[in-house]
Structure 1
Amino acid sequence: MGNHSHNQTCVTDDSFKYNLYGAVYSVVFVLGLITNCASLFVFCFRINMRSETTIFMTNLAFSDLLFVFTLPFKIFYNFNRHWPFGDPLCRISGTAFLTNIYGSMLFLTCISVDRFLAIVYPFRSRTIRTRRNSALVCAGVWILVLSGGISASLFSTTNTTNNSTTCFEGFSKSIWKTYLSKITIFIEVVGFVIPLMLNLTCSSLVLRTLRKPATLSQIGTNKEKVLKMIVVHVAIFMVCFVPYNSVLFLYALVRSQAIANCSLERFARTLYPITLCIATLNCCFDPFIYYFTSESFQKSFYITPHLKTGSFFKTETPLTKFALPAAQEDMSHQAITNGADLMSESNF
Structure 2
Amino acid sequence: MATTMVSGNISNCEVFDNFKYTLYGCVYSMVFVLGLISNCVAMYIFICTLKVRNETTTYMINLAISDLLFVFTLPFRIFYFAARHWPFGDVLCKISVTLFYTNMYGSILFLTCISVDRFLAIVYPFRSKTIRTKRNAKIVCLAVWLTVITGSVPASFFRSTNTNNNTTEACFENFSEDTWKTYLSKIVIFIEIVGFFIPLILNVFCSTMVLKTLKKPVTLSRSKLNKTKVLKMIVVHLMIFCFCFIPYNINLVLYSLMRTQAFSNCTVKTAVKTMYPITLCIAVSNCCFDPIVYYFTSETIQNSIKKRNRVRRKDSRFSETLGSENFIQHNLNTLKAKIFENESTI
Which of 1 and 2 has greater Rg? 2
Structure 1, residues 30-62: CA drift from partner, whole Å, max 9, x if none? Answer: 000000011011111211222000000000000
Residue of structure 2 aligned with 1:275, choices 273, 279, 284? 279
Equivalent residue, structure 1, for 2:95 = 92
Deviates more, 1:108-117 or 1:213-222: 213-222
Where does the alignment leave 5 or more consecutive residues of structure 2 unmatched? 312-346
Equivalent residue, structure 2, for 1:346 = none
Structure 1, residues 83-114: CA drift from partner, whole Å, max 9, x if none? Answer: 01111110000001101110000000000000
Contact 2:229 2:296 in 1 (8 A): no
Secondary structure of 2:222's counterpart equals helix
Equivalent residue, structure 1, for 2:264 = 260
Displacement of 1:12:
1.0
Output the CA distance in 2 between the equivalents of 1:301 and 1:118: 23
Contact 2:236 2:296 in 1 (8 A): no
> 1:210-249 residue pairs with structure 2 within 5 A?
210-249=214-253
Residue of structure 2 aligned with 1:141, choices 139, 144, 167? 144
Equivalent residue, structure 2, for 1:61 = 64
Contact 1:109 1:199 in 2 (8 A): yes
Displacement of 1:295:
3.9
Equivalent residue, structure 1, for 2:41 = 38
> 1:127-206 residue pairs with structure 2 within 5 A?
127-155=130-158, 157-162=160-165, 163-206=167-210
TM-score if structure 1 supplies the norm length?
0.83
Secondary structure of 1:12's counterpart equals coil
Equivalent residue, structure 2, for 1:313 = none
Equivalent residue, structure 1, for 2:31 = 28
Displacement of 1:152:
2.7
User: Residue type of the partner of 2:76?
Assistant: F
In proportion to residue count, which structure has more helix? 2
User: Residue type of the partner of 2:178?
Assistant: S
Output the CA distance in 2 between the equivalents of 1:172 and 1:6: 21
Where does the alignment leave 5 or more consecutive residues of structure 1 unmatched? 308-348
Output the CA distance in 2 between the equivalents of 1:37 and 1:154: 33
Output the CA distance in 1 between the equivalents of 2:159 and 2:255: 17
Displacement of 1:155:
3.6
Output the CA distance in 2 between the equivalents of 1:235 and 1:275: 15
User: Residue type of the partner of 1:232?
Assistant: V
Equivalent residue, structure 1, for 2:74 = 71
Structure 1, residues 262-311: CA drift from partner, whole Å, max 9, x if none? Answer: 2211111000100000000001001133235544323434646xx9xxxx
Tell me: higher relative CO, structure 1 or 2? Use CA pairs within 8 A at least 6 residues apart: 1
Equivalent residue, structure 1, for 2:115 = 112
Output the CA distance in 2 between the equivalents of 1:260 and 1:42: 51
Equivalent residue, structure 1, for 2:336 = none
Equivalent residue, structure 1, for 2:344 = none
* RMSD, aligned CA: 1.9
> How many residues align structurally?
304
